[in-house]
A = this chain, B = another copy of it.
């Protein structure tokens, strides 16, 4: 129960590491077992020593946090990762979460929240700063809204019929099969296809499918 949580702090700003250190040294259940100032050092450290949790800066020199996270998660899956960053950037957050981080907090996080985050993540749960949560949720919604409201800027509105054709194209139907499926002429489908190519500014089917998926134009 009263086992100490072994922590490795990885951040390129020494002062920041010192700050973390001084916050954590008062805690009986937490022990800082190492410090790293760049990505490769983290991997190197874990080869020889053990850590329960890595406090990992997302923006590290040489090898960025995402890469480090990927590697740690792969080779040392017992070691939890609590990402920490100055920036509340959606891309950073999702990237590192997708690569195995268990939590994400900002650098302006206070002492109490830091401790809570560490203990929560160490217990196998996840922790996110409130601001981070907002960011993620917003982007979750934005992605769909952008495509739903047809964003009027990049991709002109795709008509109902065109969308039906597009859906089948993505599902690997040929023009003939689409015509059969929708009970229309082959020439009509071709017409829709070329409209789609023009509207989406694509050169061929590959582009049609890529743009569709990138912008989540269907579903």
Chain A: residues with CB nearer than 8 A to chain B? 94, 97-101, 125-126, 128, 133-134, 136-138, 140-141, 143-145, 169-172, 174, 202-210, 213-214
Contact = CB atoms under 8 A, between A and B. Distances in A.
B141 A100 contact: yes
Tell me the interface secondary structure of chain A in the complex: helix
B170 A210 contact: yes
A136 B137 CA distance: 9
A214 B136 CA distance: 21
B138 A126 contact: yes
A178 to B, nearest CB: 11
A100 B206 contact: no
Contacts of A169: 206
B206 A170 contact: yes
B133 A204 contact: no
A47 B213 CA distance: 34
A75 B145 CA distance: 14
Given A125-B134, A214-B213, A172 B204 contact: yes
